[in-house]
Each structure stands twice: as C-alpha cells, then as structure tokens.
Amino acid sequence: MLDGVSSNFSKIYTSDCNNCDAICCIALDLVATDYKKPKNILCHYLKTEKRKCAIYKKRAEHGFSCCIQFECYGAGQAVTKLFHKLYGRKSTSTKIGNLKNDILVATLLTLGDKLELKYKNKIAVNSNILNALRPFLDAAITLIEERQ
Ligand code: SF4
Ligand code: SF4
C-alpha cells in the first residue's frame, strides 16, 4: 500500500508494466553497479522489439535497485495508452518519444503532489514546458482514474 494512501487508492494508482511501452526504462536517469544512463536514453537492457527487460529477474545482481524500487503509480500505462491513441503504436519519432518521456515525468510529479508520494523530489521536468504539457498530463491522470 502507498504511504498514507487508502487500499482503494492503491488499486487505482498502480503500475501495469504489461500494458506500457517501458517508458521508465527510457525516461529516467539510472545508476546501477556497472551501468548508468541519463534520462531520455533507452536502457541497454531493454529489448526494443518487445519492450521487455533482458535481465528482469537478475536486476538485483546487476545492482539495479533504482528500477527495482521504481513505481509509476499507473502513469506509465496511462501515458502509453494516450500516445497510442494520439500517434499510433508504431511511432519511432525521437521528438514524440521525448515528449512521451516528459509527460511521464510530469504525470508523476502531478501524482506526487496529489498523493504525497515519497519520490516526488527525485524527478524533475523543465518548468518552462510544464504548461504546454498540462493538457496531456491531465488526460493521462483521467485515464488512470477511469480505472476506479
Ligand atoms: S513506466 Fe510504470 S508501467 Fe511502465 S514499465 Fe515503468 S513501472 Fe512499469
Ligand atoms: S534494467 Fe531492465 S527494468 Fe531496469 S531500466 Fe533497464 S530495461 Fe528497464
């Protein structure tokens, strides 16, 4: 259960990685024992054709506590669904990919404020573009909450 959040909320605000384009494996900066990557770069363990992690069950051995502990609270599958509706499933545009990554982070920040999530100070999106992202992240939050 989320810190300070009811069990009903935790059913709504939970990740569904099987229905996500693995956005966190691209959007976030990661630091592991022998690997690190900046944000907006594909993790080199992500198999792009199926968007599956090649070391999923061995991430602890590789020191990937960063992604083991990460929880997007439903933002990943909502942003994925939104972008599939807007741009289709097969879009490979870097511009659209970066937009998707920014909207994931902006959605997490919005959820962070709403649910008082513990990681909210560890991620950031350029404040100059937040207003431009607002319609997308409002739509993503609506998609998450439609699961109620
Ligand atoms: S963004 Fe969320 S749903 Fe998508 S892979 Fe990451 S944790 Fe799973
Ligand atoms: S190690 Fe696997 S789960 Fe972690 S960021 Fe890379 S591809 Fe994603």
Reading the chain (148 residues) residue by residue, the pLDDT tens digits are: 444 455 666 778 899 999 999 999 999 989 888 899 998 899 999 977 777 899 999 999 999 988 898 889 999 999 999 999 988 877 778 888 888 999 999 998 888 888 887 665 667 777 778 888 899 999 999 999 887 5
Q: From the CA of 69, how far away is ligand 2's center (Å)?
A: 11
Token duo for residue 148: 């109620």
Rg (alpha carbons) of the chain, rounded to whole number: 15
Q: What number does the ligand 2 atom closest to the CA of 46 have? A: 7
pLDDT of residue 138: 92
Nearest 5°: phi and psi at 30? -130, 145
pLDDT of residue 92: 74
Q: From the CA of 16, how far away is ligand 1's center (Å)?
A: 7
For the chain, give the longest Cα–Cα distance: 41
Give the rounded distance of the alpha carbon of 95 from its chain centre.
17
Q: Is the CB of 77 under 6 A from ligand 1?
A: yes
Question: Which H or E element spans position 31?
Answer: strand 30-31
Residues in contact with 110: Cβ distance below 8 Å, sequence separation at least 6, in sequence order: 137, 141
